[in-house]
Amino acid sequence: MFDLLINGGDVLDGTGAPAWRADVAIAGERIAALGDLTNAEARTTINAAGRIVCPGFIDVHSHSDTFILLEPTAPSKIFQGVTTEIVGNCGASTAPRQGVYQLPSDWREKNYPGTWSSVAEYRALLAHVQPAVNIALLIGHNSLRAGVIGYDARTATADEVRAMCALLDRALAEGGAGLSTGLIYTPGLYSAPEEVRALTAVAARHGKMYTSHMRSEGDQLLAALDETLDLGRTTGARVEVSHLKTSGRRNWKKLDAALEKIRTAQAAGICVAADRYPYTASCTDLDVILPDWAAGDGRDAVLARLRDPTTRQRLRNELQRDTDWATIMVGSITRADLAQFRGQRIPEIADALGVEPVEAALHLLDVDELRPSGIFFGMSEENMWRILAEPWVMIGSDASIRALTGPLAVDFPHPRAFGTFPRLLRAALDGQTVPLPEMIRKMTSLPADHFQLKGRGRLAAGAFADVVVFDPQTVRDRTTFAAPRHYAEGIESVIVNGRLTMQSGQFTGSRGGCFLD
C-alpha cells in the first residue's frame, strides 16, 4: 500500500528526456516506483490523464528568507509549482545577524513568530513554522560585512576580513548553502576583490556555492564577469551568475562577449552557470539610483544627505545627467499617502507633484525613508530569450513569497513573484523558447545538480517526492506590471517531500517543506 499514487500522467523526469506515460508511487517522503502500476493500491490517488507529471521546481534565486516565516504556506510559489527555494541571494541573508547589520527594508517592521541571530536559530524557527516549501539558505556578504564593520564606505582591514571569514565559516557549518554577493548594494559595493576572494575561498573549502549579483550588469558588465569567473578559477568554488542580463540599451550588444566568456571558462574547467527570469525589467530598491558616494554609512547618513540642500543639489545634477527616468516605475511604497504612485513611471509622478523627474525620485526616497522599490525597464527581449536558451541557464524568480491576503499582500511586487515558472512553461509549450522537456530540466535537475541538492530535481525511485502535476492546456501566468497580484493557472497538484500540499488547484493544509543543508 503506497501513500500516494499518481496515475496515467505524461512523465517528464527532469533529465530533459521526452515524456513517457507512467504512474508514480510515493511512500513516505520518497518516490517508491515509476512505471505501469495498474494493480497498485494507495491511500490517495491522483488521476493525471492528460497532465504533465514532473519534479517540483527549484527557484534558485529567491528572497523569501523572512517572508517564509510570515506565510509558511508560500502561496505565490506553490501556485507556480515551486517546491524548493534558494534564498539569501544578492548578498542579503536573514542570518547571521550580528553587530549593526539591519535586515533589508522590506523585511523590517514585520511581526515575526520568533527571534534569531544565527543560521542554527533561523533553521529552528523555520522548522517551527512548518514551511510548505524546502529552503536552502545562502549566506549574504553584505550581511557579514555589516555585522563586522557596519555600513562604512571603506575597504575592510585584514583583521576585519578574517572576522568575516570566521563568521561565514560558522554559518556554513550550521547549514548555509554557500556565499552570495550583491556588489551594487551597500556595504558590499565598497569591498575590494581580495575581500570577496577570501570569503569565496571559505565557501569552496566547505564545497559550497558562490553566487553573485555582480558589480555591474551594464556598462562594466564584462569586467564584472571577469571578476566573477576569476573567483571560480582561483578558489575552485562552484559559481552562479545571478540573473544574467545586459542592462541598458547601449549594452545589449555585449551579450555575445559575455556568453563567450562563460563558455570559455566552462571549457577551462570552471564550474559556472547562471540564472534568469522571463521579464525585461528588473526590480530592486529605488535607492540604487544613488551614486556610491551618497549611498554609504547607513540609512541615517543617506537620509541626511538627501535632506541637506547642497548635497541634494549635487545629487540632482548627477542623476539628471545620467538617468533615463522614463524607464523607471515605482513599485512598493510604505507610506499610505504615497500609495497612488505604485505602478507609475517617474515622469508621471513628477507631473503629479509638479516637479522635475529627478526631484520626484529624490522626494520619494526622502519622505518614505529609502523604502520604495523600483522596477527598471532596460533589457532586450531578444537577449532574454537567448540567455534562457543556454543549456547552463536555470530559472530564478528573483522574488519573495507573496500572498493575496495578510502581511504579504500589502506591497506592489514585480509580476515575477507570481508568474515566473508558469510563464516559461507556457512559452515552452507555445514554441517561444526551448522545448518543454528542456525547460523543465532547467527548473529541476540542472539546479539540483549545480547546487548539490541531493535526491532532488528528478523523478526516480528513491528520490525525494517533490512532484508537480500541471495541465499543459491551461498553465499560464496571469500577472502584468500594472496588475502583478494574480495566482497562476494550471498547476493542479504539488507534493513536497511526499506531502500533498495542493490538490485540484486548492491548498490541502499539509506542509512538507524543510531546511536543506
Sequence-ordered list of residues with C-beta below 8 angstroms from that of 327, at least 6 positions apart, any chain? 376, 377, 378
Answer yes or no: are the C-beta atoms of 145 and 164 closer than 8 Å.
Answer: yes
C-alpha cell at 46: 491522483
How many CB atoms sit inside 10 A of residue 295's CB? 23
Contact 215, 91 (CB under 8 A): no
3-state secondary structure 234-266: HHCCEEEECCCCCCCHHHHHHHHHHHHHHHHHH
C-alpha–C-alpha distance, residues 456 and 436, integer Å = 19
Residue-level pLDDT, tens digit, the chain, 517 residues? 999 999 999 999 999 999 999 999 999 999 999 999 999 999 999 999 999 999 999 999 999 999 999 999 999 999 999 999 999 999 999 999 999 998 888 888 788 988 999 999 999 999 999 999 999 999 999 999 999 999 999 999 999 999 999 999 999 999 999 999 999 999 999 999 999 999 999 999 999 999 999 999 999 999 999 999 999 999 999 999 999 999 999 999 999 999 999 999 999 999 999 999 999 999 999 999 999 999 888 889 999 999 999 999 999 999 988 789 999 999 999 999 999 999 999 999 999 999 999 999 999 999 999 999 999 999 999 999 999 999 999 999 999 999 999 999 989 999 999 999 999 999 999 999 999 999 999 999 999 999 999 999 999 999 999 999 999 999 999 999 999 999 999 999 999 999 999 999 999 999 999 999 8
Instruction: List pLDDT tens digits, range 292-316.
Output: 999 888 889 999 999 999 999 999 9
Q: How many CA atoms lie within 13 A of 237 on its CB side?
A: 30
First to last CA, the chain: 31
3-class SS shares of the chain: helix, strand, coil, % to 5: 40, 20, 40
pLDDT of residue 105: 80
Of 6, 39, 45, 38, nearest to 24 by C-alpha is 6
Domains of the chain: 2-55+463-507 (2.30.40.10), 57-280+378-450 (3.20.20.140), 293-371 (no CATH)
Give Cβ neighbours of residue 427 (< 8 Å, ≥ 6 apart).
278, 433, 439
Q: At what angle do helices 357-367 and 299-307 cross, to 10 degrees?
A: 140
- What would the pLDDT profile of 215-234 be if each residue is shown by its tens digit? 999 999 999 999 999 999 99
Q: How many CA atoms lie within 13 A of 337 on its CB side?
A: 4
User: What gap in Å lies between CA 512 and CA 175, rounded to an integer?
Assistant: 19
Closest alpha carbon to 86 in 107, 59, 119, 57: 59
For residue 498, with 0-12 CB atoms within 10 Å meaning exposed, 13-18 middle and 19 or more buried, which class applies?
Answer: buried
Give me the half-sphere count of Cα atoms (radius 13 Å) on the Cβ side of residue 436: 19
* Residue 210 DSSP SS3: strand
- Cβ–Cβ contacts within 10 Å for residue 208, how many? 22
- Segments of 36-133 assigned E as strands: 42-47, 52-55, 57-59, 82-87
Chain centroid to CA 366: how far? 27
How many C-beta atoms surround the C-beta of residue 356 within 10 A? 15
How high is the pLDDT of residue 296?
85
Tell me 269's DSSP state.
T
Consecutive H or E run containing 469 = strand 467-470
* Cα gap 125→115, rounded to integer Å: 8
pLDDT of residue 109: 75
| Residues with Cβ within 8 Å of residue 102, at least 6 apart in sequence | 108, 146, 299
Cross-strand bridge partners of residue 85: 59, 135
Identify the pLDDT of residue 110. 85
Q: Grid coordinates in use for 155?
A: 575597504
CA 351 → CA 122, 282, 344, 354, 471, distances in Å?
Answer: 45, 24, 11, 5, 45
Q: What is the DSSP letter of 476?
A: B
**What is the residue-wise DSSP string for 118-162?**
SHHHHHHHHHHH--SSEEEEEEEHHHHHHHHHTT-SSPPPHHHHH
Are 461 and 31 in contact by the 8 Å Cβ rule? The answer is yes
Joined grid coordinates for residue 396: 530564478
